[in-house]
Amino acid sequence: MRCRGFTLVELVITLVVLAILALGISSYIGLGARMYSDAAEREQVLGQSRFVAERMVRELRNAVPNSIAEESTGSLARTCLIFRPILFSGIYTKLPHTEKDTSIEVISPGLTNADSGTLLVVYPTKPADFALTGQGPGKAVVINKIELIDSDTAHFKLSFSDSFQFSHQSPEQRFYIAGDEVRYCAMRMGSDAKIYRNGVLMAEGLVLTFNSNSGAPVFMPPVFSVDNPTLTRNSVVNIFLQFGYGGNADMFFNYEVHIPNVP
């Protein structure tokens, strides 16, 4: 009785066909895996870049007038946008301007929730006006105590630890209570860059351009630039963020943020 089976040639042909099929299937699966990985990486970079751009714009629109400044190192290894957010604002009814006093009276709904130790500023026209000058004259002073005078009119008395004299009055009798300084910094890390907010990492994958003269990676165009206010317009902050992944730099965020500057 003859036994049925495969010849050596048939086995070799079968193995070759199976190898070809396995190679084709693995290449197809590998292509799909790479496409998924690229899409996931792109989505991650896009998500964090959109988040940091939108958050920066929203915070800037709530910045204290004329508190915004741009700061860069000489080598452009770091460029920062600095500003102070508005915590509370309103109008004052009594201001120590012609002589020193230990308090200011204001009208501001919601000021009940304010904390002592915050910075009060009147008529700021430049970032340097937020610096403390001791007993004055100056434009900024630290609030020591908050007292409610009349809840119906939201009338408050804000006291200082020492007597103080404001050097200027606001044409509209405005005052601002400013929060702590906020710094958004684009920092170069080798051939890549990252964005930090007050030292906390916000986004990676910021793309650098190489200087044609020195060959060093720099931020071109500038990530942040501030145009000072004029008589016909508010101050303008230009933000240009270019993100990429895997050698591709095809995600751009270009904002022009107009900052109210009525002190």
Domain of residue 79, residue span: 43-83+181-259
User: 52: which residues sit within 8 A by CB, 6+ positions away?
Assistant: 195, 197, 202, 203, 241
| Distance from the first to the final alpha carbon of the chain | 108
- Token digits for 68? 């915004």
Same domain, yes or no, for 153 and 211?
no
Per residue in 58-110, pLDDT (tens digit) is 999 999 988 999 888 766 678 899 999 999 999 999 999 889 999 999 999 88
Residue in 197, 178, 162, 205 with CA at minimum distance from that of residue 47: 205
Same domain, yes or no, for 117 and 165?
yes
Same domain, yes or no, for 93 and 174?
yes
Do the domain assignments include residue 106? yes
Predicted TM-score (pTM) of the model is: 0.77
Do the domain assignments include residue 142? yes
Do the domain assignments include residue 154? yes
Per residue in 156-208, pLDDT (tens digit) is 999 999 999 999 999 999 999 999 999 999 887 766 788 899 999 988 888 76
Do the domain assignments include residue 232? yes
Residue in 209, 236, 235, 213 with CA at minimum distance from that of residue 221: 209
Tally the domains of the chain: 2
Q: Residue-wise over 155-171: b if at least 16 C-beta within 10 A, else e?
A: bbebebeeebbbebebe
Helix then strand count (H, E) for the chain reads 1, 17
